[in-house]
Amino acid sequence: MTIRNVIEKIDQFTSERDWGQFHSPKNIASSISIEAAELLECFQWTDPAVTEVLEDEGLLRSVEEEIADILIYALRMCSILGIDAIDAVEKKLGENENKYPISASKGMTTKYNRLNDAGR
């Protein structure tokens, strides 16, 4: 299934329920933020390694569900604003490549505007 197919399914789901009237950019952005907080809640008071998450079927399922909710809202936002999701990701990755050149950022968590200072 392509992203376009997924967006069409999301739009159909929304249309069948007459929910488009509630899908303002602000409401969708709020929903993305709420679902992102629910994803973070999966890890509240813990800091499991990737292997631990993969071994915990319940936790992995909860993470999967929250990621799905985030993606659904993000793709719905793309649909209502006419944003090409793949194009947006490709543009952002290009910008990030410029902000975080390998020579200055490899193995570091320093924000791009402080990379020059980090090496001193």
Check which CATH number belongs to the domain holding 55 and give it. Answer: 1.10.287.1080
Task: Say yes or no: 109 and 57 in one domain.
Answer: no
10 and 39 co-located in one domain: yes
What pLDDT, on the 0 to 100 scale, is given for residue 120? 42
Q: How far apart are CA 98 and CA 94, in angstroms?
A: 7
Rounded Cα gap, residues 77 and 85, in angstroms:
10
Which residues constitute the domain of residue 91?
85-120
Total domains present in the chain: 2
Taking only the tens of pLDDT, the chain with its 120 residues reads: 999 999 999 999 999 999 999 999 999 999 999 999 999 999 999 999 999 999 999 999 999 999 999 999 999 999 999 999 999 999 999 999 999 999 999 999 999 888 876 554
